[in-house]
Structure 1
């Protein structure tokens, strides 16, 4: 006969032990049969003991033990991590609809509780119509087309003028690159560019950078809610920065509405306002949807391209022999009397190869934004229940040693066929993700990266300040992987 204590204290202890046993048992139970294997975790904190500040590297290490598709316990939640090009393509392309949703996120709900916009939107018919409208409208304004070239080159000219004024002294080019690249997307969405000295523009660009940085530090708060009371300052900063971004975009909408002319559609906001006038009672397109879409476009259109260029300049000053080789190729094809054009790309294979290697090496998006299973499905032979959060490790594609020998070495020859003087492409390269949630700005970003990078190297030589410590190439992980701050010295090649 089992002994049951009768005194209150002993009964309380027994109940607590039973509760702990139940929590532990539930924690270790797989959600279904044939669920992906993974490392054991502890109740409440899950598998966080396996992860340090370089979680993208730690998750790739776990794949060597548990396979390309494995599970981890993120606090009290369980997620599936997908590594390697084959498993990622099965998830995002072959079964793209099965995994096209977004999971619950406490972080997202802090500033976007209804999951509005494009990046955070839940996958349904309304979201698909919003994305299709945004994609079609942006294409109409030249998004990703060669017709955008003149706008990009105009902005590059402003950047080069800034560089000329900053010659021969150590500078951090990060802020200038952010402002210049941002102006390209501003010209499409807001119908205007901003002066680099505009205080409101500088404020919002700096705000966006801080927001991305703080967002990265809050990642674990999504899975470890008991830590939130101890991170009130970070949470407050995150919410304040996000509110400032939304306020800026709302101001742009209000300014457009005051002078709106349906017969004169000049930018994305105008097109959106015109479309709202055609809606029936469903009201798919609202000001809140537009506001969050603008935040998506403004932030993604700035951060990813500018960060890739920061990696590019860092790698050029660390490898001056590669910088010289890129310059010599551009100089032979383009010369010094004009800026490179998109038509020059086919004749600049080593320059293109260098850009691809910058994107592989920097891998500025080690993870895509999280996905979620829309229904019970399977992946790599494992069963995946509806609602399971999916973490896509793009880092694993770009740093796999069997595909990229010595992956921590920067080497454009990975993408360059020296014998045939031609560009080599690889299926093991996915900087913009893939499938239903692929980056809408992929083609624009490719055009920007080529035009900016080739123009900067053609016009200027970049070097480390005399006596400066060699900058790190480890990167700092926020929402994106950014280089640690570094300085360069700029000298005009024709001077």
Structure 2
């Protein structure tokens, strides 16, 4: 009798489960409880989705075990993020994204849910996101984003980086460029946010903050446990799942949050409101006094968003640049030759030189496409409060309140758009004359995302890459000391393998 009841219950569950599955765009067959996890390796999920995307019309569902709809070509990504952008501006409010923000641990959390922080810019949505984004953009523009003020700030960080390289570089000795690059981008964003930068002779605080971020990113790598917490929040109370998918990631990022909170506390205590603000934190503190929608918790979250986004992704792109320079020395030399013909040896590269450097610009764009360091955007939720109807993408119904994942990786590695996509080839972003930018290929370039959730710091990142790579090539030649391993290390950011190179002053 008991067996019959159990069998009937299991049968009913399976029938209801597959009825539920049919609500979503088709994909590989999921199994009850575990969904499609049996299909996936965490290291290659982006490659798996890229491989099967064409079989499902580039709009498919994977159950991880929570259903996630993936868009895997330019047309479906653009349709979702641009043509129907208002339908897909929501955020997940789920692990692992919400682990970054401080009020995750608040007392309003119940045993079976994890509260959304709804703080900052990157992870919030609705009216909170609109207001925090508006104020953040206003402040960044006031402090020179995209202007000469910011160019001077980037150049100060470059000067510190060059001093750091000269300090650790010994003739004929290979060096690891990772820390100098991280310091450079760390100094740009730290000076913007807090009004100071680190000296290469005193890096204890910088390395503490950086290590905390790296530990968090590494704790997310190959982490199936966090997907279980995402699908069933009550599993955070289970010994192994809770430790690997909940407690350890939060413990690692809390060190960085403490660093941010302490820096803002010091600024708040020392800043006289009658003074003109000289950094983002001071400006936000002033805005707080006249805008009730702003508070200290939002400031903490925005700084976390900007610091992580401004350091790790940019320095990782530069690490891939050095690998490209070593693997394709002829491209490195061609970029340097053009730089020397325009800039010469007597001054630094300037943003005013941009229009005179078509090959160099094409190489920077190709670098970002080739490195492809962000395989996915953040989750985009099919927003139930904005869309009164279920959305149709690629001719397929995406139910309201569904998590979606536009896959940048597939667009940037499209064989149809970018033939031989694994090859580093700057010419693909130029017309036949070698000087005119290729509009066709630039249209499909989406390293910064698309639509209303496009990267807030895009103009700053573009400036940084232009100035940093330009100055590196004007000062040094990067030579390999052995075979170059271009195999990526997958995570929320795709890292290159650790490497050293010979840095030859020129």
> What TM-score does the superposition give when structure 2 sets the normalisation length?
0.90
Residue in structure 1 matched with residue 366 of structure 2 by the alignment: 357
Instruction: Please report how far the alpha carbon of residue 413 of structure 1 lies from its aligned counterpart in structure 2 after TM superposition.
Output: 1.3
Q: Label 1:333 to 1:118 Cα distance change in 2 as closer, same or farther (>3 A).
A: same
Question: Is this contact kept in 2: 1:190–1:267, CA < 8 A?
Answer: yes
Instruction: Please report how far the alpha carbon of residue 30 of structure 1 lies from its aligned counterpart in structure 2 after TM superposition.
Output: 4.2
Q: What's the Cα RMSD here?
A: 1.8
2-structure distance, mates of 1:55, 1:240:
26
2-structure distance, mates of 1:108, 1:83:
21
Residue in structure 2 matched with residue 327 of structure 1 by the alignment: 336
Residue in structure 2 matched with residue 8 of structure 1 by the alignment: none
Instruction: Please report how far the alpha carbon of residue 16 of structure 1 lies from its aligned counterpart in structure 2 after TM superposition.
Output: 2.5
Give runs of aligned pairs for residues 87-106 of structure 1, distance below 5 A.
87-106=76-95
1:459 aligns with 2:464: no
Give the counterpart of 2:269 among 258, 269, 282.
Answer: 258
Give the counterpart of 2:486 among 473, 476, 489.
Answer: 473
Question: Is this contact kept in 2: 1:256–1:269, CA < 8 A?
Answer: yes
Residue in structure 2 matched with residue 19 of structure 1 by the alignment: 9
Q: Label 1:205 to 1:437 Cα distance change in 2 as closer, same or farther (>3 A).
A: same
Question: Is this contact kept in 1: 2:209–2:256, CA < 8 A?
Answer: yes
2:86 counterpart SS class? coil
Structure 2 regions of 5+ residues with no counterpart?
105-116, 385-389
Give the counterpart of 2:193 among 167, 189, 192.
Answer: 189
Question: Is this contact kept in 2: 1:473–1:484, CA < 8 A?
Answer: yes
1:177 aligns with 2:186: no
Residue in structure 1 matched with residue 391 of structure 2 by the alignment: 377
Instruction: Please report how far the alpha carbon of residue 399 of structure 1 lies from its aligned counterpart in structure 2 after TM superposition.
Output: 0.7
1-structure distance, mates of 2:239, 2:100:
18
CA displacement, residues 36-57 of structure 1 (integer Å, 9 cap, x when unaligned) = 2111011111112322221111
1:482 counterpart SS class? coil
1:271 aligns with 2:283: yes
Q: Which one is further off, 24-33 or 127-136?
A: 24-33
1:317 aligns with 2:326: yes
Instruction: Please report how far the alpha carbon of residue 422 of structure 1 lies from its aligned counterpart in structure 2 after TM superposition.
Output: 2.9
Give runs of aligned pairs for residues 339-358 of structure 1, distance below 5 A.
339-358=348-367
Superposition misfits of 4+ residues, deviation over 4 angstroms: 30-33, 224-228
CA displacement, residues 85-114 of structure 1 (integer Å, 9 cap, x when unaligned) = 111111111111111001241324445322
Give the counterpart of 1:41 among 8, 30, 35.
Answer: 30
Give the counterpart of 1:151 among 146, 150, 153.
Answer: 153
2-structure distance, mates of 1:19, 1:300:
47
Instruction: Please report how far the alpha carbon of residue 172 of structure 1 lies from its aligned counterpart in structure 2 after TM superposition.
Output: 1.3
2-structure distance, mates of 1:156, 1:167:
20
1-structure distance, mates of 2:98, 2:73:
30
Q: Which one is further off, 180-189 or 411-420?
A: 411-420
Instruction: Please report how far the alpha carbon of residue 471 of structure 1 lies from its aligned counterpart in structure 2 after TM superposition.
Output: 2.8
1:391 counterpart SS class? strand
Instruction: Please report how far the alpha carbon of residue 478 of structure 1 lies from its aligned counterpart in structure 2 after TM superposition.
Output: 1.7
Instruction: Please report how far the alpha carbon of residue 474 of structure 1 lies from its aligned counterpart in structure 2 after TM superposition.
Output: 2.4
2:85 counterpart SS class? coil
Residue in structure 1 matched with residue 68 of structure 2 by the alignment: 79
1:245 aligns with 2:249: no
1:482 aligns with 2:495: yes
CA displacement, residues 441-477 of structure 1 (integer Å, 9 cap, x when unaligned) = 0000000001001110111000112xx3x23222112
Question: Is this contact kept in 2: 1:172–1:486, CA < 8 A?
Answer: yes
1-structure distance, mates of 2:228, 2:27:
17
How many residues in Structure 1 have an aligned counterpart in Structure 2? 474
Residue in structure 1 matched with residue 142 of structure 2 by the alignment: 140
> What TM-score does the superposition give when structure 1 sets the normalisation length?
0.92
1-structure distance, mates of 2:493, 2:151:
26
Instruction: Please report how far the alpha carbon of residue 193 of structure 1 lies from its aligned counterpart in structure 2 after TM superposition.
Output: 0.7
2-structure distance, mates of 1:220, 1:65:
28
2-structure distance, mates of 1:98, 1:368:
16
